[in-house]
Chains A and B, each alone.
Chain A
Amino acid sequence: MAVIETKGLTKVYNKDQVPVHALNGVDLKIEKREFTAIVGPSGSGKTTLLNIIGGLDSPTDGTAIVQGTDLSTLSDSELINFRLQHIGFVFQAYNLIPVLTAIENVAFVMQMQGRPQKECNKKSRTLLEEVGLADKINKRPSALSGGQQQRVAVARALSSNPDFVLADEPTANLDSVSTADLLDMMADLNEKENMTFVFSTHDQRVIDRARRVVTLVDGKIAKDDVREEHPNA
């Protein structure tokens, strides 16, 4: 079973005035362990596609099925819970909680899942070690560089044991060294821990590292290029 499957996914903004077709019948299947980049020019519908498969937005037409669940059948509160249990998010602007330390930010999602505090702390520590921030666990986001904040964001996304991680332009605010480090880390997680990653990106460095590149143009899939299989496939 595909982790993500979209059928005829269509999104029209401003339907009643000047309609803007952000997505135009997108059919896409993403399997477990994929390391997929959604690419395309600005306005091609990358973020809209990610928002819909992340349950943050609803399509005008078509369906988005995630782990066998048609997201359109879920209420708002069910969607929030679905996201909590199944999806990890990494945002372009990191979006960490500024008043919490790195370890508190990572543990926060697990605490919302209702896991015991001890387990939350232990796993948060392990995740931060994995992303190379063992010495920064008690730092607040303001004391971390952009790259370090994005690593915390990745650790937070992984903390809930999601079925996949959605990352919207994760390297857009990072310098080249931080970008390379982040990509190495995510590729490593994909390879060793079979974590499924779906990115939207403009960044050629990210595109170069992706195993599959889906190109969107004007809300349609213009090209779907599977470059290499996952080593454990």
Chain B
Amino acid sequence: MIRKIITLGWKNIWRNPTRSGVVIIAVLLGIWAGVFISAFFNSMAQGYLQNQLDLTVGHIQITNPQFGDQFNPKYNIEEVQSLLDTLAEQKHIQQIEYESQSTGLAQSAANSYGVTIHGVDTTHTSPPPVIQYLKQGDFLQSIDRNPILIGKALAERLKLDLRSKLVLSFQDVDGNITAGAFRVAGIFDSFNSKYDKRNVFVLRSDLNRLLGKKDLIHKITLKLGNFTNAPQQAEQLSGSYPDLKIASWAAIAPELEYVFSMTDVSMYVVMVIIIIALVFSIINTMLMAVMERTRELGMLMAIGMNKRRLFGMVLSETFFLTMVGTPLGLLFSWITVSILGTTGIDLSAFAQGLNAYGMETVIYPKLNASYYWHITLLISVAAILSALYPAWKTLKLKPVEAIRKI
């Protein structure tokens, strides 16, 4: 009998194909729009997060505890080689980057600007991620003496070009001001104009020579297989190296942690708002469907259909009405997300604004498969909730009164 009731529910929704069609299309479009918007903002947020992690923060940072206060170059990491060797043996660490670092002033003939100077090794197996944004020149190879890699934004501010000269002045390990002339070997252009303006890359050997101590390493950045494990891994490492400051990305940049935790919530909030709107539309349709069939429902009760079956019938009708549009909506949104996830959505018209916030100008929408399942589950619950009121109204009918209705 359950099968019969479900079959009857299915047939009932096609009594008024236009009305049911409108609801099905509304569900389809609602889901499509919700999933697409979620995928779009998810990718935007994830892209921002990933890029920030790649470019600036990494997953775990190791420094001398006192270095972080004023970036004083004398506070380097001691016995760094044995630490690097130990880290290299840990399987969950995928990449180890290290650098000497200083803050100082970059000056050209035209202008000057405060920068962070990164001393890196070109021969190291894990070059800095900024290399992928290199637009002109090369990574500190074409110039023999004191090459430097600068951002496009800084180049524009200091009116520099390839092979132009600039002077970096900063504090050495003894607290004296020192300076060195560098020649532009490459210009990078990441999507983050602030980063491009404030960071320059030189050879570690050049920087250390000017700082006054060979083999200085101020910061080690670790990349893990899964960045979400960073807080636990950082805590473990801190236990082994209590004299060092070992912090995860979430501790270094709490705003990124907020973006990460809020992305999921935002996606579900968007979807829940859409689903609530759909629920009211479905309730309205089902109430109309039930009210115009009062007499027939009364007849069904008169000939012996019990309340459980009647409830089941209205429930199945509502469920079908909702769930016909759901797989179609999910399919269309999956197709849309898949296509745009490959081709990307070009927002270069808004590049200036997006770059100011460190966001890419081409968004590749993507969503985890689990999100689709969660949406299906949410819609199923919404379908059942939508059915309750119309079904309850049905149960309140008295057969003798219902049959009398014209």
Chain B hits for A112, CB < 8 A: 1, 303-305, 309
Determine whether B21 belongs to the interface, using a CB cutoff of 8 Å to chain A. Answer: no
Chain B hits for A161, CB < 8 A: none
Q: How far is the CB of B251 from chain A (nearest CB, A)?
A: 63
Q: Is the CB of A100 within 8 A of B303?
A: no
Interface stretch (choices A27-35, A77-85, A184-192, A213-221): A77-85
Q: Is the CB of A80 within 8 A of B400?
A: no
Chain A residues 74-115 with CB under 8 Å of chain B are: 76-77, 80-81, 83-85, 89, 91, 93, 95, 97-100, 108-109, 111-114
Chain A residues 49-94 with CB under 8 Å of chain B are: 51, 54, 56-57, 76-77, 80-81, 83-85, 89, 91, 93
Chain B hits for A114, CB < 8 A: 1
Determine whether A44 belongs to the interface, using a CB cutoff of 8 Å to chain B. Answer: no
Q: Is the CB of A84 within 8 A of B15?
A: no
Q: A91-B403, A112-B309, A160-B304 are in contact. Are A98 and B15 (CB under 8 A)?
A: yes
Interface string of A126-170 (1 = CB under 8 A from B): 000000000000000000000000000000100010000000000
Q: Is the CB of B303 within 8 A of A89?
A: yes
Chain B hits for A76, CB < 8 A: 307
Chain A residues touching B, range: 20 to 34
How many B residues, CB 8 Å from partner?
Answer: 22
**A93–B302 Cα gap in the complex (Å)?**
14
Q: Is the CB of B403 within 8 A of A84?
A: no
Q: How far is the CB of A72 from chain B (nearest CB, A)?
A: 15
**A91–B400 Cα gap in the complex (Å)?**
12
Q: How far is the CB of A170 from chain B (nearest CB, A)?
A: 14
Determine which of A56, A81, A99, A108 lies in contact with B399 in the assembled complex, contact meaning CB atoms within 8 Å.
Answer: A56
Q: Is the CB of A89 within 8 A of B302?
A: yes
Tell me which of A56, A76, A156 has the highest count of chain B C-beta atoms within 10 A of its own C-beta.
A56
Determine whether B22 belongs to the interface, using a CB cutoff of 8 Å to chain A. Answer: no
Kindly count the residue-residue contacts between A and B in the assembled complex, taking CB atoms under 8 Å apart. Answer: 62
**A109–B399 Cα gap in the complex (Å)?**
16
Residue of B nearest to A83 (CB): B304
**A84–B302 Cα gap in the complex (Å)?**
8
Determine which of A56, A100, A109, A156 lies in contact with B403 in the assembled complex, contact meaning CB atoms within 8 Å.
Answer: A56
Q: How far is the CB of A184 from chain B (nearest CB, A)?
A: 24
Chain A residues 110-128 with CB under 8 Å of chain B are: 111-114
**A156–B304 Cα gap in the complex (Å)?**
12
Q: Is the CB of B304 within 8 A of A99?
A: no
Chain A hits for B299, CB < 8 A: 89, 91, 95
Q: Is the CB of B12 within 8 A of A99?
A: yes
Chain B residues 355-393 with CB under 8 Å of chain A are: none
Q: How far is the CB of A44 from chain B (nearest CB, A)?
A: 16
Q: Is the CB of A80 within 8 A of B12?
A: no
Chain B residues 1-45 with CB under 8 Å of chain A are: 1, 4, 8, 11-12, 14-15
Q: Is the CB of A80 within 8 A of B11?
A: no
Q: A80-B301, A108-B4, A112-B1 are in contact. Are A99 and B14 (CB under 8 A)?
A: yes
Q: List 13 A-B contacts (CB under 8 A).
A: A56-B403, A80-B301, A83-B302, A83-B303, A85-B304, A89-B302, A89-B303, A95-B296, A95-B299, A97-B300, A98-B296, A99-B15, A108-B4
> A-side interface residues toward B, CB under 8 Å?
51, 54, 56-57, 76-77, 80-81, 83-85, 89, 91, 93, 95, 97-100, 108-109, 111-114, 156, 160
| In the complex, the 10 A-B pairs of residues with the closest C-beta atoms, listed nearest first | A84-B304, A99-B11, A95-B299, A56-B400, A57-B400, A80-B306, A83-B304, A51-B400, A56-B399, A111-B4
> B-side interface residues toward A, CB under 8 Å?
1, 4, 8, 11-12, 14-15, 295-296, 299-307, 309, 399-400, 403
